[in-house]
Amino acid sequence: MTGDKAYDQTLELFANNRGGMMFQSTASLGGVERAIAAAGNQVELNTAFVPHSEGFNTAVPTGGAAAAIPAGVPEEKKAAAWEFIKWWISPEENAYWSEKTGYWPVRYSSIKLLEEQGYYEEKPYFYTTIRQLEFAREAPLTPFWPAISKEIQTAMEESMLNNVPAMDALKAAEDRARDALE
């Protein structure tokens, strides 16, 4: 499924045992758990690394959740924003946020806390994102990245949903991305 409603439709099918697999960010796991519970179904939930072809390096993006305090903000607002960010990334709060969303904790102390609490033993599918951190790569800092990223996503969908050979789908994405850069 593709398009604006693809995630919601895919989630509904999956939560109602009408879909065997979803290709989503682990950051959506909290929502997936809630959808399954709301549907009243028993679904075996598991996660896996992003697939890659043999002979190619594994690489995953870290996602887009971020906090920033812009320059030019009045000092009292900067101070208030910094207090909020310190609270938000405290080990306990960050661990809670990770549990409820599926985003990986931004602090190793939060990961350690979740490990000590047995959270990853209870829900090992949340640990996949931690294991993938070894292969995390920063997205390129360019104004063209959103368009290029969209082409990569389209290539992945073509390969997985329409059985287009991965290299053919990626070559077509490369051509479209080059056009976007010109």
82 closest CA partner among 67, 92, 94: 67
Q: What is the pLDDT of residues 72-123, one digit of tens each?
A: 999 999 999 999 999 999 999 999 999 998 888 989 999 999 999 999 999 9
- What is the tens place of the pLDDT at every residue in 125-142? 999 989 988 888 877 777
Quick one: what percent of the chain has pLDDT higher than 70? 96
The pTM of the full predicted model, rounded to 2 decimals, is 0.75
**What whole-number distance in Å separates Cα of residue 149 and Cα of residue 179?**
14
